[in-house]
Amino acid sequence: MGRESGMKYELVIVGALETNCYLVYCEETRACAVIDPGADHEKIISAIADLELKPVIVLNTHGHVDHIGGNSDIIQKYRVPLAMHAADTGMLQVSDYIELSLLLGARNSPPPDRLLAEGDEIAVGRISLRVMHIPGHTAGSVGFVAAGVLFSGDTLFCGGVGRTDLPGGSWKDLEQSIRERILTLPEETIVLPGHGPWTTVEQERDSNPFLT
């Protein structure tokens, strides 16, 4: 997949909530974006070393603690900038959710160096990730699109959708984001969610019980 574009990715499952952290990289230059380093930074660092990758940026699909809890360790290790949507920056002090943070081994995240908005392009070596603002699970949820793949965060799962009962959540926005933005992508688009197995736009359009 993504052979012509040179985009590749590696999945690292991290933390007690089994968050999908993705290393998205340019095969040619080995430049890499770290999407959602939620926990287990040693595991992420060792995957980066095994693949001989060079992190250039940390990206958060949204601000929940299980997606941002390892930001600070990865940023300190590689001295790379952090990018996320402005609407979720109020969630980065995980000491506000102390019990959950302790359980997950999460640390406070530094503030983002770059705020992401709809349509932004993020350069990673010779590849580029396009930002899609898909609010609903949180107000600042974003997806990243590249080479026929959508990194969907907790907006859309294989056979499920993100919860909307937490602060900033909205079922109306979530449904609109999924129907109008995600399901309108080419049906063969591979969807890589923030938890659980991968899926495709076609499969979710045809069989996701929350959408049919």
Nearest residue to Fe ion by CB is: 64
CA dihedral 162, 55, 75, 98 (to 10 degrees): 20
Window of 62-70, 120-128, 139-147, 176-184 that interacts with Fe ion by CB under 5 A: 62-70
Window of 3-11, 40-48, 57-65, 115-123 that interacts with Fe ion by CB under 5 A: 57-65
Return d(Cα 106, Cα 98) in angstroms, integer.
9
Q: Which position among 64, 107, 181, 195 is part of the footprint of Fe ion (CB under 5 A)? A: 64
Window of 18-26, 60-68, 75-83, 103-111 that interacts with Fe ion by CB under 5 A: 60-68
Direct distance between the N- and C-terminal alpha carbons of the chain, in angstroms, rounded to an integer: 28
Secondary structure of residue 87 in the 3-state scheme: helix
Return d(Cα 170, Cα 193) in angstroms, integer.
19
* Minimum CB–partner distance for residue 100 and Fe ion (Å): 12
* Minimum CB–partner distance for residue 137 and Fe ion (Å): 6
Q: Which residues, 6+ apart, have CB-to-CB distance to 44 below 8 Å?
A: 12, 14, 21, 23, 34, 37, 70, 74
| Cβ closest to Fe ion, residue 64 vs residue 181 | 64
The single residue listed with the structure tokens 């990289």 is 25
Window of 3-11, 59-67, 70-78, 117-125 that interacts with Fe ion by CB under 5 A: 59-67
| Cβ closest to Fe ion, residue 5 vs residue 164 | 164
For residue 85, state whether it binds Fe ion (rule: CB under 5 A).
no
Of 6, 8, 80, 10, whose CA–CA distance to 44 is shortest? 10
| Cβ closest to Fe ion, residue 51 vs residue 100 | 100
Q: Write the binding mask 151 to 180 for Fe ion: x where contact by CB under 5 A, - elsewhere.
A: ---x--------------------------
Return d(Cα 62, Cα 68) in angstroms, integer.
8
* Contact set with Fe ion (CB under 5 A): 64, 154
